[in-house]
């Protein structure tokens, strides 16, 4: 039922990342009132979940291939970490010492 509309829905999602299944059903029902109504909400939700999962996988793969060094934290100042009540001193300059 949704197969002919997947490309259109994917384009809508690319333009509006936060688009909901209800909004998609609404748009489809405006164009195809004899095929779509709120009853198709759950099937559109499943499609939306699959499309978002695929987009996330593509983005993750693209990030890994284009900049593997970004997977590591760059060197620099960090705030002290706390564990069991103990805290390491911050390596960042204090606000009063900046620019001296």
- From first to last of its 100 residues, the chain has per-residue pLDDT tens of 889 999 999 999 889 989 999 999 999 999 999 998 888 899 999 999 998 898 888 888 877 766 655 556 566 655 555 566 666 666 666 665 555 5
**Dihedral sign from CA coordinates of 11, 17, 20, 23:** negative
Rounded Cα–Cα distance for residues 31 and 8 (Å): 12
Q: Which residue pairs, CB below 8 angstroms and at least 24 apart, start in 61-69?
A: none
């Amino acid at each position: 039922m949704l197969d002919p509309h997947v490309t259109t829905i994917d384009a809508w999602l690319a333009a509006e990342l936060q688009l909901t299944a209800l909004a998609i059903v609404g748009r489809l029902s405006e164009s195809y009132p004899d095929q779509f109504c709120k009853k198709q909400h759950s099937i559109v939700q499943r499609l939306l979940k699959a499309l978002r999962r695929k987009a996330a996988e593509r983005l993750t793969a693209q990030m890994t291939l284009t900049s593997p060094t970004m997977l590591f934290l760059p060197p620099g100042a960090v705030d002290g970490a706390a564990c069991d009540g103990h805290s390491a001193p911050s390596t960042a300059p204090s606000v009063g010492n900046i620019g001296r």
